[in-house]
Structure 1
Amino acid sequence: MQYRTIIKILGQLVALFSITMVPPALVSLIYKDGGGLPFILAFVFSVIAGLIAYYPNRNEHGDLKAREGFLIVVLFWLVLGSFASLPLIFLDAPKLSMADAVFEAFSGLTTTGATVLTGIEYLPKSVLFYRQQLQWLGGMGIIVLAVAVLPMLGVGGMQLYRAETPGPVKDSKMTPRIADTAKHLWYIYVSLTLTCTLAYWVAGMNWFDAICHAFSTIAIGGFSTYDASMGHFDSPVINLICVVFLLIAAINFSLHYAAVASRSGKVYLRDPEFKAFFLIQVALIIICFAVLSSNNIYANGDETLDQAMFQAVSISTTAGFATDNFSAWPLFLPMLLIFSSFIGGCAGSTGGGMKVVRVFLLYLQGIRELNRLVHPRAIYSIKLGRKALPDKVVEAVWGFFSAYALVFVIIMISLMGTGLDNITAFSATAACLNNLGPGLGEVAAHYGDISDSAKWILTLAMVFGRLEIFTLLVLFTPTFWRG
């Protein structure tokens, strides 16, 4: 294991991450909100810590293997999440405990969107901007950015990329070089963010709110600058813009690249995961609309459709924005939407959950087993579109599902051990492991009232979810350390 090389890279990444403290400090200067000092202190602290880690190991140039890639990614999220909490720890108002600050920072960086804060609109603009910025950076994964803009790393770029990017098939690259791939991903990401910002502004948001909400929309994060989330704006047009960009961000970004490169939208229609994703979304919207209509929850059909479409897309893509208290709907719907977050977005998107392609492969595998019961000697292959998949991919998906279920159960039982009731423990585990955000019961509005021990457990759940279980779980195997 190339430990000194790993420490050097982490030092570089921490020093790079310190730059993210500058924009909030500038926002504080512009709005004169008096909240700039914590970000300046965090910037200085991060730069010094990064240099301390980097400088003694600056001449290390070991060749990174897959093992080192996994370890760097896990350490990266743990270390960066810890440094991201520094400005929140240094804040005078609100005064956050260590557990609250770390929870909020990890929630932002992992794009979970669960918050311990209330009275959000009264926070300094710099703090509001910082929370949204964390989600935007975490959405695509800062590792990918680092590989794109830090070619001087020069070691194991592909190992980092494979460990970081979500989805069951990680060997496909859009361009021959990993740095080019990362750059193309970020070009698309930034372009979508700018377009979303402009759309929000045209729809009536001020520039600050438009930028902040575009950050969390494209990242499928869920943080807002208001306690009422998107409901604050009370605008069907803004709701529709949010839904459209959430759906775009929940699609595999390599599909976006292929569509731009070929200048044809047919790329989407040929992708089986894309078709399954939209079928799920349409089904959820129809079910929510039908149930809300039959219970006369809203005044008219237009409002019912607006609310049904927004909550269905927001929860199922794991964004977690809200325009109403969906936990007060007939219990069938909140539970349905929480379970839909287990599916989440497409592989290679900024969405959370298990990813549509994995659930789709599980479904195809189930159909194959049923067919084998009828025709035991027949040979059936699982196809994704026209491509037959090797059995090792299906086995990996089953392994992922098993690990996901095990981690879920352990976290939920641990939360119940801290005193949470079963509904709260279940929904909080689902919300954090799927990087969703809002839950039910005690965590329907915010996570500020649960115990510190529960917050630490849920912070770990966020990291498990963001790294898709295996990347973190592999570190607990003896084989990993023995090789």
Structure 2
Amino acid sequence: MDKLIPYLMGRALLLCSACMAIPFAYSIYLHHNFMTGVFGQSICITLLIAILLIKKSTNPPESLSVYGGAIFLCAIWVTIGFFGGLPYYFSHYLGPIDAFVESVSGFTTTGYTNILSLQDPALILWRSMTQWMGGGMILMFIATVLPAITGMFGISFAMPVALKTGVVTINRLRKNTRRLSILYALLTIIGVVFFSVAGLGTYDAINFAMVTISTGGCYFSDAYLYNNVWFASAAIVGLIASGGNVIIYWQAIKRRQYSMLKKTIHNTEFHIFVLIILVIGLICGLHLYHNNYYNLSDSLLYGFFSVALYAGTTGAPPFEVLTWTDFDKMLLIVVASIGGCIGSLAGGFKILRLMILFKSCANEMTRTIHPDIIMTMKIDGEIVPSKVINRILGFFFIVFITIAISILVISAAGLDMQQSMDIAIACITSTGPIMLFHTSHSEILALPVIVKLFCCFLMVLGKLDIFAFLILIFGSRQQLLHKHW
């Protein structure tokens, strides 16, 4: 195994322990001695393991192989999920398995929670921070590890030339992490300002900014004003920003060419993302009004806000959504499955991939009618390479098979087809609240341990774009065969 892997894991845990120091300090400020002890224990354990991993990997290589990158991508979520779950376990809110599920859900920005009622401010802050840290990790992987390992099945087409190729090196990780951290912090600060202007207090504004920008969506607070126009407007702006191609924002800051942000405004994929929110939001709002749920203005507010939440795969505590018709719930499931733009923090299949699939189908129909025609696919004036098209076709097939198998596995726990589909899609698209559309919280808590761990696996799989996991499996098989022969 590459020595660089334990080194990177140690650095990640070092960052995790440093982030735990924030709720630790907040609990001291609030004079909550019990939670101070909880975070103190968690920090000590995480810091100890981080130091051991870093010391073990003396003189690590400067670059990461494809197989090593796949191992790192798969292992980091499990490792950080375990240590990130320590505060939930030590505080006696959850048992060991449920604490792990809670942590993985946070770091993968899935947004589902096992905790029915969380009152401690420091632990609420930590829950929000896990989502925020997870969003930052995803952003870093998009710009460093994933393109080199898997090509991300379409993201390389939408990325600057400098990021399309190249191995993963420590130097590249350090540079990109530093720059991306600045961008991510800037987006979060803007979110805090927007939510503060919307009328939230500093604590709630910080938490909402973290869960919105990261597309995590899970936050325990009575300040969740679903029918507050200013709050909804601030959230929608944050969701659209995080659902756009963040790589373009990063390149604009990196090169100090802010005119590059015009690429987002004139980008066809971004236009479709906004159009989906507007059109589906209007349909949802009018349907709510037609079924006498709310008056016209509230129906439109609920429709646009909910669709924006689910299109960005943020989701939300579905207290209102649970009472809606299956038509409205299915609209939200569809937009969550589509997801945001390629290179965004949102989950889902991604709009650019669907654009390429539709154009590929249209081209094949044209070739059937005119067999001798030579066609190329273009998006925003750029030719889409056939390699990208083939990868996306393979990716779509594997996603379809994964969802089908997941529904089968989850249904074995005694849930019906609709419930199993909700849970599978919620985990793979990182939109946790979908789990509760047709399944009660108590039913999910009562699921067998193996099913809960399988759901964690699906959450991680959704963030890996699946192929990193396949590279790990097939890479292991090839290494075993090589040793055997």
- Alignment TM-score > 0.5, same fold: yes
1:277 pairs with 2:263: no
Map of 1:48-447 to 2, 5 A cutoff?
48-61=48-61, 63-92=63-92, 94=93, 96-120=94-118, 122=119, 124-141=120-137, 144=140, 158-159=144-145, 162-163=148-149, 168-170=154-156, 172-173=159-160, 179-226=174-221, 230-231=224-225, 234-257=227-250, 261-264=256-259, 265-298=261-294, 300-322=295-317, 324-439=319-434, 440-443=437-440, 447=444
Is the CA contact (8 Å cut-off) linking 2:286 and 2:300 kept in structure 1?
no
> Residue 204 of structure 2 contacts residue 223 of structure 2 at CA under 8 Å; is this kept in 1?
no
**SS at 1:141 equivalent:** helix
Aligned amino acid, residue 169 of structure 1: I
Deviation at 1:60, TM superposition (A): 3.7
1:206 deviation in Å?
1.4
Q: Residue 462 of structure 1: CA displacement?
A: 0.3
**Aligned partners of 1:345 and 1:445: how far apart in 2?**
31
Rounded Cα–Cα distance in structure 2 between residues aligned with 1:368 and 1:229: 50
| Residue 455, structure 1, aligned to residue 448, structure 2 | no
Structure 1: give runs of 5+ residues left out of the alignment. 148-156
Query: CA shift at 1:173, angstroms?
Result: 4.5
Structure 2 Cα separation of the partners of residues 164 and 376 of structure 1: 33
How far the C-alpha of 1:241 sits from its partner, in A, is 0.8
Quote the offset at 1:167 in angstroms. Answer: 5.8
Counterpart residue identity of residue 360, structure 1: M
Gaps of 5+ in 2: 164-171
Matched, 1:42 2:39: no
- Quote the Cα distance in structure 2 between the aligned partners of 1:53 and 1:205: 41
1:468 aligns to what?
465
**Structure 2 letter corresponding to 1:107:** S
The aligned length equals 465
Q: Compared with structure 1, are the counterparts of its residues 392 and 48 closer, same or farther at alpha carbon in structure 2 (3 Å cutoff)?
A: same
> Is the contact between residue 215 and residue 314 of structure 2 (CA under 8 Å) also seen in structure 1?
yes
Deviates more, 1:318-327 or 1:362-371: 318-327
Deviations 1:421-448 (A, max 9, x none): 2111100110111000112211579943
Structure 1 CA distance for aligned equivalents of residues 277 and 177 of structure 2:
28
CA contact (8 A) 2:247 2:343 kept: yes
In the TM superposition, what is the alpha-carbon distance from 1:49 to its structure 2 partner? 1.3
The alpha-carbon deviation at position 71 of structure 1 amounts to 1.3
- Alpha-carbon distance in 2 for matches of 1:344, 1:143: 16
Query: Does the Cα contact within 8 Å between 2:153 and 2:392 map onto a contact in 1?
Result: no
TM-score if structure 1 supplies the norm length?
Answer: 0.89
**Amino acid in the other structure paired with 1:134:** T
TM superposition shift of 1:242: 0.6
Q: Which amino acid aligns with 1:377?
A: D
- Look up the match of 1:7: 6
Map Cα deviations across residues 266-290 of structure 1 (whole Å, 9 max, x no partner).
3223322112212222221121122
- Structure 2 letter corresponding to 1:457: F
Say if 2:147 and 2:155, in contact at 8 Å, map to a contact too: no
1:452 partner letter: V
Q: How far did 1:368 drift?
A: 1.1
CA contact (8 A) 1:197 1:211 kept: yes
Q: Distance in 1 between matches of 2:476 and 2:373?
A: 37
Q: CA deviation at 1:302?
A: 1.3
Give the match's secondary structure for 1:314.
helix
Aligned-partner Cα distance in 1 for 2:377–2:440: 40
Structure 1 partner of 2:169: none
Cα offset, 1:376, TM superposition: 1.8
CA distance in 1, matches of 2:347, 2:216: 9
What's the offset of the Cα at 1:142?
6.6
CA RMSD of aligned residues (A): 2.6
TM-score, length basis structure 2: 0.89
SS at match of 2:216: coil
2-structure distance, mates of 1:417, 1:401: 25
Q: For residues 113 and 318 of structure 2, what CA distance do their matches in structure 1 show?
A: 16
Q: Secondary structure at the match of 1:312?
A: helix
CA distance in 2, matches of 1:420, 1:323: 20
Q: Which moved more, 1:418-427 or 1:106-115?
A: 418-427
1:361/1:160 CA distance change after superposition, 3 Å: closer
Any conservation in 1 of the 2:108–2:460 contact (CA below 8 Å)?
yes
Task: Find the counterpart in structure 2 of residue 24 from structure 1.
Answer: 23
For the Cα contact (< 8 Å) 1:474–1:480, is it kept in 2? no
In structure 2, relative to structure 1, the CA distance for the partners of 1:311 and 1:17 (3 Å cut) is same
CA distance in 1, matches of 2:26, 2:161: 36
